[in-house]
Amino acid sequence: MIGKLNHVGVATPSIDESVKLYRDVLGATKIGEKFVMEEQGVWVCFVDLPNSQIELIEPYGEKSPIHGFLAKSPLGGQHHICFEVEDIEKARDDLQAKGATVLNNGVPRIGAHGVPVIFVHPKNMGGVLVELMATPTGHH
């Protein structure tokens, strides 16, 4: 059912500081501009790798869901992994039929790539927050 690993989500208290790590320490050369996703309460910045992306996420606003994560892990850290799926509704229905909890009551939201995404609760995935996204068109 799952397709390509699209990205790894990394929470950080400061995208600017994290960009320095990926650029200056690891040598990443393709790093996008950070932008706000207001509804999700996050700043987002993509670090492009030859086969995938790192999605840096920093809290935006008081109600950001990332505050809780950073309270437990002040340095930041791996937050979620994202796989592509052909059909997001079918994937959602399949997961729910298997008893998994899909966040946001299973309603897909438009993610940082402009395509619908869902999140599977970590309690159903061995402690890993899993994002599934509809395969982006024109990106391969």
Q: Which residues are catalytic?
A: 131
Q: Binding to Co ion by residue 76, rule CB under 5 A?
A: no
Among the listed ranges 43-51, 67-75, 77-85, 91-99, the one in contact with Co ion (CB under 5 A) is: 77-85
Decide: 8 and 78 in contact? Cβ < 8 Å: yes
Write the interaction track for Co ion spanning residues 22-61; mark x where CB under 5 A is met and - where it is not: ---------------------------------x------
Judged by CB under 5 A, the chain residues 82 through 111 that form the site for Co ion are 82
Among the listed ranges 8-16, 46-54, 95-103, 121-129, the one in contact with Co ion (CB under 5 A) is: 8-16
Residue 90: CB atoms within 10 A of its CB come to 11
Nearer to Co ion among residue 84 and residue 131 (C-beta): 131
Strands (E), 1-140: 5-11, 30-31, 35-37, 42-48, 53-59, 77-85, 109-110, 116-120, 130-134
Nearer to Co ion among residue 24 and residue 100 (C-beta): 100
As beta bridge partners, residue 109 has 117
Residue 6 has φ and ψ, to the nearest 5°, of -85, -50
Residue whose structure tokens are 């009551």 = 105
In whole angstroms, how close is the CB of 111 to Co ion at the nearest point?
Answer: 6
In the complex, the residues that contact Co ion under the rule CB under 5 A are 9, 55, 82, 131
